[in-house]
Amino acid sequence: MASSLLQIPVDDSVFLRVTHSNIKSFSADIRFSLQMTVEAVKEKLWKKCGTTVDSMCLELYDDSGDKVSVLGDNTRPLGFYSPRDGYRLHIIDIDPSSITSGGWLDNTSLVEKYKISEEAYDKLDGTYRKLKEKMGSQHSSHESKVKNQQNIIFCLLFISYFDLIIISCKQISDSYMEDLCVNIKIGDRCQVEPGERRGVIKFVGIAETLAPGFWVGVQYDEPLGKHDGMVKGKRYFDCPPLCGGMVRPDKVKVGDFPERDPFEEEEI
């Protein structure tokens, strides 16, 4: 009798909303077969969010927000935990070194920028300011002063050129990653990493409301994005809500990436 209670109709499936502990903007509605093991569910989610199977804990919440259960046994079928359409499956990433940790996938402003205060600059050795002060205090004769001035001019030109090189390396230019966009065209099918998210190219170019350099706008096949093509008050393209994403060209692979069958990964 007990074993018969665990029998699940072969064709049964459930539509769940998936969220992530580290990626606050990640929210996707995904259909799962109730016959899938919990481990198979994790493998499917790993391809969409980047959290590995071994680092993933799953919690199930009902449509009122109450926790129903923790999917703690990888060998059990999903149907054992009695999920229903509209329930929420929450991913908890327990790996502190995970690519999803730190919040940078949601907010690129968290990436540390190079800054130095006047006080810190004064404490550095070998700067132009220290060199100028040292050279200005040497030699009192007219001949020495003339030579000093020549040396200062030479050092000033050299250090200024060196400073320009450093500044250019630390700042992102408007042509950043432009070369990677040569083979990316609007209307192309693509796959975006991490997560193997598939979609179609909707925008290629500079985005005034984002950081300098080139960006690629993608309409995902599933609601795996953050917006509908409007970013920070400016519209770059049109797509359904939560299906739009703006990513750097190095995250985009163009090719024959057809829309996935929702049941293609659900074989036991």
Examine the domain organization and report whether 220 and 147 are in the same domain.
no
Find all residues with CB under 8 Å of 216, minimum gap 6, and list them.
181, 184, 190, 201, 203, 204, 246, 247, 248, 249, 251, 252
Examine the domain organization and report whether 78 and 148 are in the same domain.
no
Domain count of the chain? 3
Average pLDDT of the segment spanning 18-34: 88
DSSP label of 79 = G
Examine the domain organization and report whether 140 and 64 are in the same domain.
no
Average pLDDT of the segment spanning 12-22: 90
pLDDT digits (tens, 9 = 90+) for 123-172: 777 777 777 777 766 655 556 666 666 766 766 665 555 555 444 444 67
Examine the domain organization and report whether 56 and 13 are in the same domain.
yes
Examine the domain organization and report whether 92 and 40 are in the same domain.
yes
Integer angstrom CA distances of residue 186 from 33, 132, 197, 219, 220: 34, 54, 17, 11, 13
Examine the domain organization and report whether 87 and 11 are in the same domain.
yes
When computed from its CA atoms, the radius of gyration of the chain, rounded to whole angstroms, is 28
Examine the domain organization and report whether 14 and 97 are in the same domain.
yes
pLDDT score recorded for residue 109: 58
Examine the domain organization and report whether 161 and 182 are in the same domain.
no
Angle between helices 142-170 and 128-136 in degrees, nearest 10: 180
Examine the domain organization and report whether 149 and 199 are in the same domain.
no
> What does the alpha-carbon distance between residue 224 and residue 236 come to, in Å, rounded to a whole number?
18
Strand pairing report for 88-93 and 214-220 = unpaired
Tell the residue number behind the tokens 């049109």, with chain if given.
238
Examine the domain organization and report whether 124 and 42 are in the same domain.
no
Point out the domain boundary residue: 146, 170, 194.
170
> What does the alpha-carbon distance between residue 134 and residue 142 come to, in Å, rounded to a whole number?
17
Confirm whether 250 is domain-assigned.
yes
Confirm whether 132 is domain-assigned.
yes
Q: State which residues form the domain around 8.
A: 2-103
Examine the domain organization and report whether 189 and 238 are in the same domain.
yes
**83: CATH:** 3.10.20.90
Confirm whether 238 is domain-assigned.
yes
Alpha helices of the chain — where are they, by DSSP H?
Answer: 2-5, 38-49, 118-123, 128-136, 142-170
Predicted TM-score of the model (pTM): 0.39
Average pLDDT of the segment spanning 40-49: 89
**190: CATH:** 2.30.30.190
- Residues paired with 204 in a beta bridge: 216
Confirm whether 267 is domain-assigned.
no
Please tell me which of 98-112, 170-184, 209-223 the model is most confident about, judged by mean pLDDT.
Answer: 209-223
Confirm whether 264 is domain-assigned.
no
Confirm whether 11 is domain-assigned.
yes
> What does the alpha-carbon distance between residue 71 and residue 69 come to, in Å, rounded to a whole number?
6
Examine the domain organization and report whether 56 and 84 are in the same domain.
yes
